[in-house]
Chain A
Amino acid sequence: MPTADTTTTPTAATRRTRGEAIVEARGIGKSFGELEVLSDIDFRLAPSEVVCVIGPSGSGKSTLLRCLAFLEPYDHGSVHIDGQLLGYEERGGMRVRARESRIDAVRAPVGMVFQHFHLWPHRTALENVSEALRLVNGLSRRDAEAEGMAMLERVGLAERAGHFPESLSGGQKQRVAIARALAMQPRVMFFDEPTSALDPELVGEVLDVMKQLAHDGMTMAIVTHEMGFAAKVADRVVFMDQGRIVESGPPETLFRTPRSERLQQFLNTWRERHID
């Protein structure tokens, strides 16, 4: 499996504390009916590693992230979070779907940010961030809100705490969604196209928050179309096409000297669109 061993930047080198992977997927496959969307995927995420997953629409990259979080059950292979099998358990020599409480427990170290934010519209920004702290961690309203405010401050939105999502811009909504995930103190964050639903001028504020997270040592898997961001922030870039990982490696290698024809085509198309 390709790793980022050849990366030379000091930041990346310090990040890549090699040890047990936080997330490790082996040979995962997923089909929707007849359509095979993921095929024999191996994916590893080491502590403090930032991996960007790129690829054309329909290549399976969002499905990969959703399978890693078990929002979509994978059909074959295994996903381990902190060494624990996610989504299934062995019973009488058979692999069966685990109880929801077990899935929640194994998945607890993972925070997720979605393309369309998925904030709860009937709750204010602060309530969105503090809700799980109360319901899951059992904090009092006061403590949960204090913690929630700290998270909103971290993403630069403390002054918007009392606003409902409807009155926030797309970028602000996404930052609230990031704060909501961070409030549960995840050890790894999944981002599913976090900027794809945003107006171009709002993309920067979200990417800045994500850069800061990466700088702070957060382990991150990011499905993105933001090549510039991937080049600057990722330790490793994974290129997917037709449900398979075609190429994987440090961004400077992958972007400058793509080995596969498919990645060359993809990058050429991207350059034509963005440099013209």
Chain B
Amino acid sequence: MFDLALLWETRELILQGLWNTVWICFLGCLVALSLGLVLAALRLSSPRLFGYPVACYVELCRGTPLLVLLFLLYYGGPGIGLRLDAEIAGVTGIGLYGAGYFAEIYRGGFKSIPKGQLEAARMLGISPWHALIRIQIPQMLRLIVPPGTNQLIILVKESALISIISVDDLTKNATTIVNQTFNVIEPYLAVALLYWMIIELIARGGYALEKRLANRQPRHVAQPGDTAHAHG
């Protein structure tokens, strides 16, 4: 029998886990989104200087599991004088790891903007900085909403790994309840439902943002002529 009473009795632990998961994911994703943008902008603005280091960083993030990064930060950190609380190690780990993926998502968005638009800006004397802020980023953001939402969802789901470095998040607290009560189904099902709710919120937020941006801007970034071949 599904024991609802058990969930009611352990509600405080579950809600505490939910709160920890929410704020750690929120801050981690914020770091990932911001650092990713900086990395992508550096790579595009000065490929000679930043292209290789940023590419290495991206490959490192994609090539190593988040759990290994979390272990390095939390257990390996003190070895080099870096003592982080488990929660801060979680935020940092999610942020650094996600930044690698977001850098690529942003780069893809930037690359989809026809080069000619920037040449037009340059011929008008618009500085590269203004072109980035006023021409590239607004168009890029619109393009990256669907893959960006997807990546945020993946990060939230992967955040369950912070339970292994002793953060009292949803997964860890559910496991605690399981260990105390020997009831496996109820706590994990409740936690699954809560994760699903967080993710559904992100997905709906993504759709809303997509719709909002689509109302303001035309559907296609590339103009019909942009794909045609130049002559002469």
Contact = CB atoms under 8 A, between A and B. Distances in A.
A59 B220 CA distance: 32
Nearest to A65: B232
B16 to A, nearest CB: 43
A243 to B, nearest CB: 11
Interface in B203-232: 216-226, 228, 230-232
A121 B223 contact: yes
A262 interface: no
A136 B164 CA distance: 53
B228 A114 contact: no
Interface residues of A, number: 47
A196 B126 contact: no
Interface in A164-181: 164-167, 170, 173, 177, 180-181
A240 to B, nearest CB: 8
A195 B226 CA distance: 14
Contacts of B135: 120
Contacts of B11: none
A135 B217 contact: no
Interface stretch (B19-27, B59-67, B114-122, B166-174): B114-122
Contacts of A58: 231-232
B68 to A, nearest CB: 40
A111 interface: yes
B119 A71 contact: yes
Interface in A77-121: 100-101, 104, 107-108, 110-112, 114-121
B22 to A, nearest CB: 33
Contacts of A110: 123
B142 A122 contact: yes
B123 to A, nearest CB: 4
Contacts of B79: none
Contacts of B216: 122
Interface of B: 114, 116-117, 119-128, 130, 134-135, 138-139, 142, 216-226, 228, 230-232
18 contacts: A58-B231, A63-B232, A100-B128, A104-B122, A115-B231, A116-B116, A118-B120, A118-B226, A120-B117, A120-B139, A121-B139, A121-B220, A136-B124, A170-B224, A170-B225, A192-B232, A196-B231, A197-B225
